[in-house]
Amino acid sequence: MALTVGTIAPSFTTTDDTGKTVSLSDFQGKVVVLYFYPKDDTPGCTKQAQSFRDNYEQYQDKEIVVFGVSRDDQGSHAQFKEKYSLPFQLLVDTDGAITKAYDVDGGGYSKRVTYIIDAEGKISYMDDKVNTASHASDILCVVG
């Protein structure tokens, strides 16, 4: 069962697709969209990433941080990001620690679940019924 609205978002520190260290605490005071997906460069995951890519300017205009998270490694993330010109960071979770902390473990992969974390670090929205093609637009409607 995914985490519920009102829960304090579990903190994490990991690396991104470039090897840079990323901690959730670095984004305190900002709204963060943390979207979990099963695997780089698969049809549904690609549609979902492209949805965020195509709407990314609107996220930037609202100063919303977008992170994609899967259990793939840095090399896989880097290739996926380059292949589809993704402008946001993909976070590495090869050991599944973030996936487990956010209760989206599908048994070796991350389930397709998105959390919106508010500026105070609480989960303000959770979506586990993702439409991959329109997902980024759907989330923008939620954040206003």
CA distances from residue 82 to 15, 17, 59, 86, 93 in whole angstroms, order as listed = 17, 10, 20, 7, 19
Which of these is catalytic: 9, 24, 34, 45?
Answer: 45
Q: Compute CA 112 distance to the chain's CA centroid, rounded to the nearest angstrom.
A: 10
Strands across the sheet with 31-36, in order? 89-92, 64-70, 31-36, 113-117, 123-127
Residue 1 is given by DSSP the state -
Residue with tokens 């690609």: 46
Structure tokens at 55: 């709407």
- Between CA 25 and CA 22 the distance in angstroms is 9
Q: Residue 29, SS3?
A: coil
Is 45 one of the catalytic residues?
Answer: yes
In this structure, the number of other CB atoms found within 10 A of the CB of residue 1 comes to: 6
Which active-site residues does the annotation give?
Answer: 45
